[in-house]
Amino acid sequence: MDSWILGQTVEHSGGVEEKRRWVRRNVNFLVRLIFPSHGLREVQSANFRMLDLSEGGAALYVGSFSGRPDYFYLQFGDDKSELVSCYLVQRTQHALSCRFTSPLPTAQIDAIIAQKEMDLTIESLFSETKEDLVDNFLGSFVT
């Protein structure tokens, strides 16, 4: 297993310690995983929850999804946003860990996280008050 985070000591089951190359940032947002199927004749996509993110890779919660490909793209934004090519490095029962084919700059990782946090904040503001806004709007017509 290659190192991911510089300066953080990680102890593995064999008692061997290693230094990670990049700091993993715990996150909790949706990303789109895009992957070829049936050879290269079709492209499929699905949204999954990202668990952690670093300059070198990420971990995704995929639940019982059985179509976990060995090579895929991650899309952090809308349909027009950049695709980041990845390859699978580890599978567990409900998650997968991937490595980016080229490390992303720290500024880009920070920008992705900041944008996702802002999107979640805006979404939570409107989702919690949507019913109240409708009730207030409809109530303004009652005489």
Q: What pLDDT was estimated at residue 131?
A: 56
pLDDT band, very low/low/confident/very high, at 48 (cuts 50, 70, 90): very high
CB within 8 Å of 19: residues ≥ 6 apart:
3, 5, 6, 7, 8, 9, 10
The full DSSP string for the chain is: ----EEEEEEE-TTS-EEEEESPPEEEEEEEEEEEEETTTTEEEEEEEEEEEE-SSEEEEE-TT-----SEEEEE-SSTTSPEEEEEEEEE-SSEEEEEESSPPPHHHHHHHHHHHHHHHHHHHHHHHHHHHHHHHHHHTT--
pTM above 0.75, yes or no: no
What confidence category does residue 8 fall into, taking pLDDT thresholds of 50, 70 and 90?
A: very low
pLDDT tens profile 108-134: 999 999 999 988 888 778 765 555 555
Could you tell me which of 80, 42, 22, 86 has the C-alpha nearest to residue 60?
86
Residue 44: predicted pLDDT: 86
Beta partners for 86?
72, 100
Provide, rounded to the nearest whole percent, the portion of the chain with pLDDT above 70: 71
Mean residue pLDDT of the chain comes to: 80
Cβ of 62: how many Cβ atoms within 10 Å? 19
Q: What is the pLDDT of residues 65-97, one digit of tens each?
A: 877 688 999 999 888 889 999 999 999 989 999
Question: By the 8 A CB rule, do 45 and 73 touch?
Answer: no
User: Which one, of 13, 4, 35, lies nearest residue 99 by Cα?
Assistant: 4
